């Protein structure tokens, strides 16, 4: 692979590979960035580059490289908060291709999420704003919303479930129209 | 991602997307770092090849000269071997040039206020963060061990942070820059640190020369890579079009125009939505980058969308540390806080104490009438406890 080909590959796929490694469980932004860089460099070194211009095939190939790098990363870290194995990673890949990519490049899912968040009840919206935008801890949220930490955890899981259902409905409606 | 549940990939996918859309952890542009590493990799591969050839040649040369030395040792070598070691006199030793060492910089302790006049100053923080304060700069040393922090009130600082020792944050009135190992410059215009009020525009400029940093504000976080330039602005919108806003910046005669960045060849839809909500005069905070010669907004928060003042009647649902939550008869719940008075905390600013005293005398369940003003949230101008049914 030439330098120009590598640059084109990065431009086309870096956003998806980054989201993918975060989805797999890269614990923070810097780990995700390192894994993405390593994945593209491994692709650059590889002698088995798929001979195709199909971006979906190239995307799947890069995800495979990123998945293996993530697995190695977790194995190296004894106290990794993420417990993964080949099977759970295969399940994750299936979810990614069906739920996130669908028939598009995932952009529609992000758009759907923005709209679904906008329709949340005020209190739920405030909880996720505090957690995701202001980086409030569960303990801080529990204090503000007068709930237990476990209560906040369950509430956030319910909100995410609600958002996942809303995204799916929107995506199905989009496909039907 | 604090809440990983690997057995539920759907939940994790929404979690990841929320960090991106709400938390501002958008995919970074890694073209530069990857291409640099790829080039270095290629260079080292070529170097390895050259080294292998050179080593082989050297080995052959060594074998030949070894053979010649054994069979006929040159006389000059013997003379050199027998030459006594050179001894320096004490005077020569005294005048011998010392080994050049990295200059040691003064360690700036926490709480120190560093003010430069016409000459720059350089100091160290925690042994790993070197800060060069340019002339006419005012900075305050904050933070804690392994999490050093400075507040730049005005002027310019150039920072160099050693990797893998601790974090380093540069706080400015307009936003803050967070790093773990890199070189960069932060500039706060001269006027911004003085006579600060909530309403005054504040701005800072950032240039990263090595590594990467996070520029953080109310809109979330934005990553700046080496070679990238940009900054942060808080203040009112001077002019607004469908696809741009203009703001008045220090040192510029005319309002400066900013466009949203492009995502997948379209103007970023999330930023466009925020732009639609904003009005001329709305107070905004945004981070921008120079992309292909244009100033592009990369993260934005609109603080006041609607009317600047209003009246709200309802029942106190909760007394929080920062204010009160009140629900009106239509079921709308709002958080009201006392006004911020007196500028930055280090200049004596803080929440209106008189209003905090009034709030302390109110209880959950009390029906109240609030006159408010919008300034980074609803701020209480006046509050009155009502009788049952009174409006």
Tens-digit pLDDT profile for residues B4-56: 444 578 888 898 889 888 888 788 888 888 888 888 877 777 666 666 666 67
Distance CA B87, CA A130 (A): 73
Tokens of B184: 């960069």
Question: Could you tell me how far CA A64 lies from the centroid of its own chain?
Answer: 15
| Percent of chain A surpassing pLDDT 70 | 92
Averaged pLDDT, A100-117? 78
Give the highest mean pLDDT range of A141-155, B92-106, B150-164, B293-307. A141-155
Query: Is a pLDDT exceeding 80 seen at residue B163?
Result: no
Please give, rounded to a whole number of angstroms, the shortest distance from the CA of A172 to a CA of chain B: 16
What percentage of residues in chain B have a pLDDT greater than 70? 75
Mean pLDDT of A6-27: 87
Per-residue confidence at B190, pLDDT binned at 50, 70, 90? low
Per-residue DSSP letter, B320: -
Is residue B100's pLDDT more than 70? no
The pairing of strands B294-302 and B350-351 is unpaired
Q: Where residue B94 falls among pLDDT bands split at 50, 70, 90?
A: very low
Instruction: Please report, for chain A, the start and end positions of each structural domain, with discontinuous segments joined by +.
Output: 3-102, 108-176
Collect all residues with Cβ–Cβ distance below 8 Å to B190 and sequence separation of at least 6.
B136, B154, B155, B250
> DSSP code of B180?
S
pLDDT at B245 over 80: yes
Q: Which range, A60-64, B8-12, B213-217, has the best average confidence (pLDDT)? A: A60-64
Residues 6+ apart with CB under 8 A from B36: none
> Could you tell me which residue, B162 or B59, shows the higher pLDDT?
B162
Q: What is the mean pLDDT of chain B?
A: 77
Residues A164-169 have a mean pLDDT of 89
> Tens digit of pLDDT for each residue in B341-351?
766 566 667 78
Cα separation of B218 and B104, whole Å?
38
Across the interface, whether the CB atoms of A33 and B6 are under 8 A apart is answered no
**Exposed, middle or buried by CB within 10 Å (0-12, 13-18, 19+), for B150?**
buried
Chain A interface disruption, residue of B3, B11, B16, most A CBs within 10 A = B16
For residue B370, the model assigns a pLDDT of: 93
Residue B383, pLDDT above cutoff 60: yes
| DSSP codes, A49-102 | --S---HHHHHHHHHHHHHHHHHHHHHH-TT-S----HHHHHHHHHHIIIIIIT
pLDDT tens digit sequence for B325-368: 999 888 888 889 998 776 656 666 778 888 988 999 999 999 99
The verdict on a CB contact (< 8 Å) between B18 and A128 is: yes
d(CA B156, CA B206): 10
Q: Give the model's pLDDT for residue A57.
A: 87
pLDDT beyond 70 at B93? no
pLDDT for residue B389: 65
pLDDT bin (cut points 50, 70, 90) of residue A163 is: very high
Please give the pLDDT value at position B193: 39
Mean pLDDT score, A153-169: 91
Residue whose structure tokens are 């803050």: B176
Residue A119 has pLDDT above 70, yes or no: yes
CA nearest to B131, candidates B140, B117, B210: B140
Distance from CA of B214 to the nearest CA of A (A): 11
A84 has a pLDDT exceeding 90: no
Residue B138 clears pLDDT 70, i.e. is over it: yes
ipTM: 0.90
Separation CA B170–CA B105 (nearest Å): 19
Average pLDDT estimate for A159-163? 93
Chain A residue with minimum CA distance to B17: A110
Residue among A28, A92, A117 minimizing CB distance to B9: A92
How confident is the model at residue A156, as a pLDDT? 92
Stretch among A65-74, A80-89, B122-131 having the lowest mean pLDDT:
A80-89
Beta-strand pair B378-385/B367-374 = antiparallel
- Chain B contacts of A82, Cβ < 8 Å? 4, 6
Q: A3-7, A35-39, B75-79, B154-158 — which is least confidently predicted?
A: B75-79
Query: Do the Cβ atoms of A24 and A89 come closer than 8 Å?
Result: yes
Residue B147: per-residue pLDDT? 83
pLDDT over threshold 90, residue A133: no
Q: For residue A79, what pLDDT band results from cuts at 50, 70 and 90?
A: low
User: Is there a contact between B13 and A100 if contact means CB atoms under 8 Å apart?
Assistant: yes
A43 — pLDDT class (breaks 50, 70, 90): very high
DSSP secondary structure letter of residue B84? P
Q: How confident is the model at residue A168 (pLDDT cuts 50, 70, 90)?
A: confident
pLDDT score of B50: 65
Q: Which CATH number fits domain A108-176: 1.25.40.10, 3.30.70.260, 3.40.109.10, 1.10.10.10?
A: 1.10.10.10
Question: Of A34 and B254, which is predicted with more confidence?
Answer: A34
Cα–Cα nearest to A93, from A21, A15, A10: A21
Q: Exposed/middle/buried for B109, CB within 10 Å: 0-12, 13-18, 19+?
A: exposed
Identify all chain A residues contacting B17, using CB atoms and an 8 Å cutoff: 19, 109-110, 113
Contact A18 B6 (CB under 8 A): no
pLDDT of B269 reads 87
pLDDT in the model for residue B4: 42
B179 — contact with chain A (CB < 8 Å)?
A: no
The average confidence (pLDDT) of chain A is 85
Q: Do A30 and B180 touch (CB under 8 A)?
A: yes
pLDDT of residue B40: 82
What is the pTM (predicted TM-score) of this model?
Answer: 0.43
Bigger pLDDT: B179 vs B62: B179
- Distance separating alpha carbons of residues B181 and A137, to the nearest angstrom: 26
């Amino acid at each position: 692979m030439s330098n120009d080909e590598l640059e084109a590959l990065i431009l086309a796929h870096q956003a998806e590979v980054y989201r993918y490694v975060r989805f797999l469980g890269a614990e923070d932004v810097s780990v995700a960035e390192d894994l993405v860089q390593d994945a593209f460099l491994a692709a650059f070194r590889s002698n088995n580059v798929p001979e195709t211009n199909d971006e979906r095939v190239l995307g799947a190939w890069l995800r495979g490289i990123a998945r293996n790098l993530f697995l190695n990363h977790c194995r190296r870290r004894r106290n990794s908060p993420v417990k993964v194995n080949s099977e759970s990673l295969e399940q994750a890949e299936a979810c990614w291709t069906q739920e996130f990519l669908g028939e598009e490049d995932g952009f529609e899912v992000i758009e759907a999420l923005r709209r679904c968040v906008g329709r949340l009840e005020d209190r739920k919206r405030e909880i996720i704003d505090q957690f995701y935008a202001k980086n409030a801890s569960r303990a801080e949220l529990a204090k503000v919303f007068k709930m237990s930490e476990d209560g906040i955890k369950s509430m956030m899981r319910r909100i995410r479930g609600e958002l996942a259902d809303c995204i799916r409905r929107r995506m199905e409606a989009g496909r039907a129209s | 991602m604090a809440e990983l549940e690997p057995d539920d990939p759907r939940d994790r996918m929404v979690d990841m997307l929320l960090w991106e859309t709400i938390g501002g952890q958008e995919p970074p542009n890694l073209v530069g770092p990857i291409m640099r590493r790829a080039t270095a990799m290629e260079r080292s591969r070529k170097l390895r090849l050259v080294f292998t050839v050179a080593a082989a040649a050297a080995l052959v040369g060594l074998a030949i000269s070894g053979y010649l030395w054994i069979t006929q040792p040159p006389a000059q070598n013997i003379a050199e071997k027998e030459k006594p070691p050179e001894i320096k006199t004490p005077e020569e030793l005294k005048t011998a040039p010392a080994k050049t060492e990295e200059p040691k910089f003064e360690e700036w302790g926490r709480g120190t206020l560093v003010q430069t006049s016409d000459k720059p100053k350089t100091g160290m923080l925690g042994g790993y963060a070197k800060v060069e304060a340019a002339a006419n700069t005012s900075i305050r040393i904050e933070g804690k061990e392994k999490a050093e922090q400075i507040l730049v009130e005005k002027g310019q600082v150039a920072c160099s942070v050693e990797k893998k020792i601790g974090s380093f944050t540069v706080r400015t009135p307009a936003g803050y820059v967070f790093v773990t190992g890199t070189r960069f410059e932060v500039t706060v215009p001269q006027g911004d640190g003085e006579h600060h009020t909530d309403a005054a525009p504040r701005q800072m400029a950032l240039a990263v020369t090595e590594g990467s940093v996070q520029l953080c504000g109310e809109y979330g976080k934005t990553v700046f890579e080496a070679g990238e330039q940009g900054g942060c602005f808080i203040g009112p919108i001077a002019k607004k079009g469908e696809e741009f806003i203009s703001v008045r910046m220090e040192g510029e005669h005319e309002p400066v125009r900013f466009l949203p960045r492009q995502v997948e060849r379209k103007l970023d839809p999330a930023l466009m939505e925020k732009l639609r909500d904003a009005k001329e005069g709305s107070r905004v905070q945004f981070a921008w980058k120079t992309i292909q010669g244009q100033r592009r907004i990369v993260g934005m928060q609109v603080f006041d969308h609607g009317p600047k003042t209003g009246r709200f009647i309802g029942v106190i649902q909760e007394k929080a540390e920062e204010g009160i939550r009140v629900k009106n008869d239509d079921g709308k719940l709002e958080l009201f806080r006392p006004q911020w008075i007196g500028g930055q905390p280090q200049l004596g600013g803080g929440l209106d104490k008189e209003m905090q005293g009034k709030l302390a005398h109110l209880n959950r369940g009390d029906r109240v009438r609030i006159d408010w003003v919008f300034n980074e949230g609803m701020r209480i101008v006046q509050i009155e406890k009502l009788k049952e049914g009174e409006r």
